[in-house]
Structures are given as structure tokens and as C-alpha cells.
Amino acid sequence: MENYLILNTLNFPILSLLLIVPVIGAIVAMFLRGDTVIKFWSLAVTLVTAFISLPLWSNFDQATAKYQFVELRHWFPALNLNYVVGVDGISVLLVLLTTLVMPLCVLCSWTYIKTRWKEFAVVTLLMETAMIGVFVSLNTVLFWIFWEGMLVPMYLIIAIWGGERKDYASIKFFIYTFAGSIFLLVSIVAMYIKTGTFFIPELMAFEFTFSFQVWIFLACALGFAIKMPMFPFHTWLPAAHVEAPVAGSVILASILLKMGGYGFLRFCLPMAPTATLYFVPLLLIMSLVSIIVGGYLALGQTDIKKLIAYSSVGHMGFVTLGIFLLNDAGIKGAMLQMINHGVTTGALFILIGIIYERTHSREIADNSKLGMFMPIYVTFLGIFSLSSLAFPGTNSFVGEFLVLYGAFDKYPLVGAISILGAVLAAAYMLRLMQKMVWDDSDGHAHHGDDHGDKGGHTLFDCNFREFIQLAFLTVFVFWIGLHPTPLLDMMDSSVAHLLQQIDAGSVLPEAVHHGESHALLENAGTWIKNLF
């Protein structure tokens, strides 16, 4: 196992602490009384977790592709099942993203969530553990437990604190993601039967036959494609986003969607490299369709949250596009794009939450002409909208540029088509910005000159709590936008290793490749016959 792992050298078990602190926080929260106490308690817990995670950044060894900060405990020796957690260049940034976004989720719910704060705190903290768990598990069973563990808290967040159609949205979310993860479980079990191990690095090293790879690739890819979400599995996302409370939207956008991309990089690519190459055209096409359909649908929305939700489909299309280009720039760009989307779209949802608290409407028309009343808010809206449309100098540009570079380098036509997505992004974000900041041509600008209380609400500008959240994310917009090198360096070794795994695994001779794909079709044929 030493081939894959570097045991934790810090004098405390950092990853286990990240997993356990939110759980303890949740348990304590159950016994606390008073909303204010619980609010501060959950903020403190998330901040402590974020603080604990910082050594992952400072002590990370960029020179190696091995898993770091590893903790290994025997768990179920009879099944060769261990508790093993660790991070590499692919997961470490996502763990940091999770721990840094969670305090913001608490902050943006401060006044937004009005009922059942205790339950909200418990659910949010459990959610944090589950999300970190997904990124740090090096064991498929552990991975699956955390993966499923996220479902229930997220379901509850939407179903209890959601909007008008919360029942519909939460059930839809649950069914879609659960259906996807069942297939994931099947492939986990199948791989165990084949290899006798749940240990992810060993599964990556194992050379499965081509037909087996095809099946596990399809099973996993379905689960991840739903989570991403890729067209045509994206329909749960707008519903969930629109109905979720602001913290739910932020968690969904910033972290949950990243799990699909992470899953592709952790499971599909290294474990089924030949199948990956086999399915590249399909996934590239699906990515392009996601980019264009997402952008096109976003252009027609009148609900701000829906607009951002569809824009997420487009952005995630860029992520899968980058991943399945299978070159250095593409994968790095995709990973950077995941971080960027977490920062930017998270901020946009926080912004929507802020305005929703004031006007109680998510319609663009009801929230127009804000420039006159909320200059600070509008400044942040401008920054994050520009970031979302990949304005040069902001974070998304670097990710998009790398993906486009990877695309034009390998398949110029794919690159040319994806440019359309970039154009659409500019169109819908500028439209949103123009309408929210200035325009009142829709005739709905009810707040006109009476600056406030007559309309039943006041358009006061951001308060300190809101300002802090947005300013914090703004730092990342420009930092990643102008100096992404530290992030790219952290990914470097792991991405190189990943590409090497794909190359090594794809040396199956053409003849076998051909023959087996026929065998595969025959297998499928018999299977369907048996079914009837």
C-alpha cells in the first residue's frame, strides 16, 4: 500500500477531524436552546472545521501524485475493508472549497431561515461531514456511504425550508440522484467481486477486461452525469435550485455538482481507461449539448434562480468537456472550472438570497433598477456576473481558457462549437445585469422613487454580514483570475499521474478492442432476450 499512500505526518489526524468535528457540532446543537445560540454555534463549528483544513493547503506536497494525509484503520478485515482516507491533487482543493464555503452557508441563512433553526443547523453540519467524506474516502464502500449520506440532509433542506413547490423539487432531486447512485453501488460490488478489494488505488491499478470496463464505466458515468448534471439528466437541477433555501442552493451549486466531476476523475477515467477512450465521443457530444442547451435555456428565464441554475448546466458542460479531452490543459481547466463555479455561482446564489429577503421575489422584473438603491450590492453583482461570463482577469476565464486550449489543441471543431457556449454566457449574464441594475422597461419597477417602506419592503444595501461573505468570495475571483499558478501546481502531479493511467490502460490492441466490443453487444443481446 505504500506505493499509493503517504501517511499523515501532522501531529493530529486532520482528515478524521474534518469528518468528526461537524458531527460532534451537530450532536451538541441538538441540546442547545435559542436560535441565536445555535446560529453562533453552527458558525463556530464550520469556522473551526475551515481552520482545521488549512494545513491541507500549507503542508500539501505538490511533488507527488500519491495520496497524502492518509489515515488507515482496520475496519472489517474479513472483507478486506479498511477505514482509509486521504487526499491528492484532485481532491484536496475540493475539500478546501467545501470547508471554506460552509461558514458562508451558515451566514447567508442567518436571517433567511426563520423556522426550525436547530434542525437546520444539525442537517447542515451533517451535510458538511458527508461532503468532505466523499472527497477524502479512498475506499469505495466509505465513498458510497458518504455519497448516500448527502442525499437525506439535502432532501430535508429542500423539503423543509424550500419554496412553494418544495415537495415536488425535493422528491425529484431524491429520485434522480438515488437512481444514479444505485448503479454506482452495483459497479462497486461488481468490482469487488472481480478484484476482492474496495481500496480505490488498487482498483485503479487493476486491469479490467474491456467489456467489464464498459459496464462499470456506464454504471458510474450515469450516476455522475446525473449529479453533474449533464444533459439530458439535468431537469432536477432547476427545480431543486429554485425551491431550495439560499444555503441549499449554495451547497448544491458550490459543492454537490462538483461530485459528478470528481467521480469521473476518480472512478471512470482511471478504473475504466479503455472504456473511457471508447466513450469519449459520446461524452464530448453530451458536454457540448449541455453547454449550448444550458446557455440557451438560461437566456430565456425570467426567474433569476432558474437562470443561474441553467447557467450551471452550461458551466458543468465545460467541466465534462475538459475532463474528456483527456489532456493536461483540459483536465486542469475542468478542475479549475469546478472551483471557479463553486466560488462564482455560490456567490450569485448568495446575492439572490440577499435580494429575495428584501423583495420576496425571484423574478428579474421585480428586482430591476437596483443600481439606484443598492450600490454595494450592484458592485458585487457586477463582479460575479462578469466572473460567471468568464471575463478576463476573473477566475472563470482561466478555467475556460484552459478547457478551450485543450479543445482547440485536440479537436478544433469541438473547441469551435463550445465557443458558442461562451457567447451565450455573455448574453444571459449581461442581460441579467442590465435588467437588474438599470432597466425598468418591463413596467414592474414598483419601488420607483419611494425608496422603501411603501411597497412593503425596504431596499437597504448590504449589511456587514452580507458584505463579508461577498468580499471573501471576491478575493478568490481575482486571486484565481490573476494568479492561478499555486492551484495549478497543486493539481500538476496528480493530473500527470491520471493521464499516465489512461495511457497505460488503453494499450489493448485494436483487434481485441474490436472483437470485444462485438462480444459486448452479443452479451447485451442475450441479456435482453433473457429478460423477456
Q: Which is nearer to other proteins, 136 or 480 (CB)?
A: 480
Q: For 100-116, give one letter per residue: b (16+ CB within 10 A) or e.
A: bbbbbbbbbbbebbeee
Among 106, 398, 473, 491, binds other proteins (CB under 8 A): 398
Nearest approach, Cβ of residue 493 and other proteins (Å): 17
Query: Which range touches other proteins (CB under 8 A), out of 18-26, 340-348, 393-401, 449-457?
Result: 393-401
Q: Which is nearer to other proteins, 69 or 405 (CB)?
A: 405
Q: Which is nearer to other proteins, 446 or 457 (CB)?
A: 446
CA distance 103 to 94: 15
Q: Which residue has the cell 442547451?
A: 293
Among 126, 256, 386, 462, binds other proteins (CB under 8 A): 386
The three three-digit cell numbers of residue 301, written as one number: 428565464
Sheet of strand 81-87, all strands in order from the earlier edge strand to the far edge: 5-7, 67-76, 81-87
Nearest approach, Cβ of residue 319 and other proteins (Å): 18
Angle between helices 92-109 and 117-136 (to 10 degrees): 170
- At 83 the three-state DSSP class reads strand
Task: Check residue 434 for interaction with other proteins (CB under 8 A).
Answer: yes
Task: Check residue 392 for interaction with other proteins (CB under 8 A).
Answer: yes
Task: Check residue 458 for interaction with other proteins (CB under 8 A).
Answer: no
118 CB neighbour count, 10 Å cutoff:
18
Q: Which is nearer to other proteins, 263 or 484 (CB)?
A: 484
Q: How many residues bind other proteins (CB under 8 A)?
A: 31
Among 75, 168, 178, 408, binds other proteins (CB under 8 A): 408
Residue 256, strand partner residues? none
Q: Which is nearer to other proteins, 232 or 393 (CB)?
A: 393
The three three-digit cell numbers of residue 63, written as one number: 511533488
Task: Check residue 416 for interaction with other proteins (CB under 8 A).
Answer: yes
Task: Check residue 477 for interaction with other proteins (CB under 8 A).
Answer: no
CA distance 506 to 144: 27
User: What dihedral angle (degrees, nearest 10) is formed by the CA atoms of 148, 154, 156, 161?
Assistant: 180
Q: Which residue has the cell 432597466?
A: 439
Task: Check residue 484 for interaction with other proteins (CB under 8 A).
Answer: yes
CA distance 367 to 373: 11
Among 422, 436, 473, 499, binds other proteins (CB under 8 A): 422
Contact 216/208 with Cβ under 8 angstroms?
A: yes
Measured at the alpha carbon of residue 474, what is the angle toward residues 348 and 104, in degrees to the nearest 5?
A: 60
Task: Check residue 401 for interaction with other proteins (CB under 8 A).
Answer: yes
Contact 381/355 with Cβ under 8 angstroms?
A: no
Nearest approach, Cβ of residue 65 and other proteins (Å): 20
Residue 67, strand partner residues? 5
Task: Check residue 393 for interaction with other proteins (CB under 8 A).
Answer: yes
Query: Which range touches other proteins (CB under 8 A), out of 42-50, 125-133, 285-293, 423-431?
Result: 423-431
Query: Which range touches other proteins (CB under 8 A), out of 82-90, 272-280, 345-353, 384-392?
Result: 384-392
Query: Which range touches other proteins (CB under 8 A), out of 99-107, 302-310, 352-360, 385-393?
Result: 385-393
Could you write out the DSSP letters of every residue in 338-357? HHHHHHHHHHHHHHHHHHHH
Q: Which residue has the cell 426563520?
A: 114
Task: Check residue 415 for interaction with other proteins (CB under 8 A).
Answer: yes
Judged by the rule CB under 8 A, the positions of this chain that interact with other proteins are 386, 391-393, 398, 401-402, 404-405, 408-409, 412, 415-416, 419-420, 422-423, 425-427, 430, 434, 438-439, 441, 482-485, 488
